[in-house]
Structure 1
């Protein structure tokens, strides 16, 4: 009996070690640029990745790797430590801004990411969080929601690529907004993100070299498209 109990205890401990190693162990060193390129072109040949511009850790389990393809496209690859290995979970051959959601329920874990082609000659990107104004009547009670418009400017003078954590005031607003909307029977979902690209003369332009690419995803990444806006979409305070 004691021998059986010993074997059972040993088996449970062994399984626990294996589960921890496979699911919860800390990441090992990130792959080399050559390994990244090989992995990307293996899982998504259309990427034709050639040069890794940088590897940008968001936390110990998430890394953004902007790259240049053999066809001179500027793209983005998203890497996650999972099941005891680094995996490329998504690849975009163009580097238009996207929102990477590490935790969809936590606004503080959302990041804008981008890699703009130098041919577009952008000087800056202006990111926006917008909640449209609205009016409705519920059970005879009138409700008016004022417009919310938050802006954050990012310079592209030094690098074509980058990431930006949501500002603290954006996070506070989103937490309050999500709390109110989750309590409603019919959430309005009238909040969205957008961006406007500006050239060297501070003129809003369309970055044709940084959009309309192809992409790969294994379904294990939270990415949200960020709407490109026009100056006419933005309200200027009087």
Structure 2
């Protein structure tokens, strides 16, 4: 190969590297305006009928949570990601019932609870739970008993309809221990889910202004758009019968 061809090849590789970096790895630009957010949401998912952007909440430099109010007076959530050198809406929920936003399923510290509760439901607080059911089994003649684990976090829902909460340190510590044990027992079943046996789950109980359990009719059973770029999981709504009160 001649020096001229080598020179041309070198220039081509450098230019290609610059283009690849610019397209895939460049730092995000400024976030779109509220008007631009509404326009893109309604263009991609007309069912959203987005009208008012309530807030823009950065999770990290490439992910932003955007709660919104629709023309139908629904309180929803949209999830934005920086990809291919642009901000794009990756998922839209027309209702704001609590969801678990999972960035890395093998790292509990990267999990966030998100919600946007309609004021009509008049909630005073939301109680979130992490529960591991008790279990009993016999393996090769050896009895095994797993005690129940129930962890609770309370958030107040009166000041803002929406919220984003990273899992607390005590929840993360427990889940890391759980993942370590379960992945050792079932390495092939523990790749895509924290709980292959479905014995650990997240839940929530909403309480009204009189501190009584209630059902948030205006905040559930919406519709969704997703392009698969974000990993979301519904948080199960519970009632007091699902909760054990320490004696």
TM-score bucket (shorter structure) = over 0.9
- CA distance in structure 2 between the partners assigned to 1:101 and 1:223 by the alignment: 6
Equivalent residues, number: 238
Q: Per-residue displacement from partner, 1:19-46 (whole Å, max 9, x unpaired)?
A: 1111111100000000000000000000
- What is the aligned partner in structure 1 of residue 175 from structure 2? 174
Tell me if structure 2 keeps the 8 A contact 1:120–1:207.
yes
Tell me if structure 2 keeps the 8 A contact 1:51–1:69.
yes
Of residues 177, 186, 206, the one that matches 1:197 is 206
- What is the aligned partner in structure 2 of residue 47 from structure 1? 48
| 1:1-238 paired onto structure 2 within 5 Å | 1-185=2-186, 187-238=196-247
TM-score, structure 2 as length reference? 0.95
Tell me if structure 2 keeps the 8 A contact 1:181–1:188.
no
Q: How far apart are 1:149 and its partner, in Å?
A: 0.4
Runs (5+) with no aligned partner, structure 2: 190-195
- Three-state SS of the structure 2 residue aligned to 1:77 is strand
- Three-state SS of the structure 1 residue aligned to 2:125 is strand
- Structure 1 runs (4+) deviating above 4 angstroms are none
- Three-state SS of the structure 2 residue aligned to 1:37 is helix
Q: Per-residue displacement from partner, 1:177-203 (whole Å, max 9, x unpaired)?
A: 111111123653410000000111110
Q: How far apart are 1:3 and its partner, in Å?
A: 1.1
Tell me if structure 2 keeps the 8 A contact 1:122–1:199.
yes
Runs (5+) with no aligned partner, structure 1: none
Q: How far apart are 1:132 and its partner, in Å?
A: 0.1
Tell me if structure 2 keeps the 8 A contact 1:135–1:143.
yes
Q: How far apart are 1:2 and its partner, in Å?
A: 1.2
